[in-house]
Amino acid sequence: MEIVVRYEVSSSQKYGNVVRQVLHHASKNVPIPRDATVSVSFIGDAKMRVLNKKYRKKDRTTNVLSFPTHDSYVMIPNSSNDLGDIFISLPEAKREAKKYGWTMRFEIARLALHGFLHLLDYDHEEEKEAKVMEGIERKILKLYA
């Protein structure tokens, strides 16, 4: 799997390896095309707020947003295997890590994984879906605690 990491805020470069590690680990635990591509961008609160307002109609920053390339994730041979884009607000991640007493390594891994699973059509709107998604997250995040 190809993982493209973009750094739009200072001090985010040190988290690129964590993103690559957790997404490679996740790719071994959920079905994805072998030649899949995903983009992860570290951004600031201002840009995250704009994205959240435009696409979710919520005028505030958030920790992570995912934008899948396709409306629904289906593994189709010979189709585009660009899974989509994940945006992580580094300032919000720092606030949440402090609030919950987590390391930044764990928080970045958690957000990248959460966004990645959303690209694959995992969701947490209904209780049954949430249990499946949370189970995958717990299994993978044990390595980052």
Per-residue pLDDT tens for 18-35? 999 999 999 999 988 778
> Which residue positions in the chain have pLDDT lower than 70?
71-80
On whether the CB atoms of residues 74 and 62 are closer than 8 A, the answer is no
The structure's pTM equals: 0.92
d(CA 68, CA 47): 18
pLDDT of residue 81: 84
pLDDT of residue 4: 96
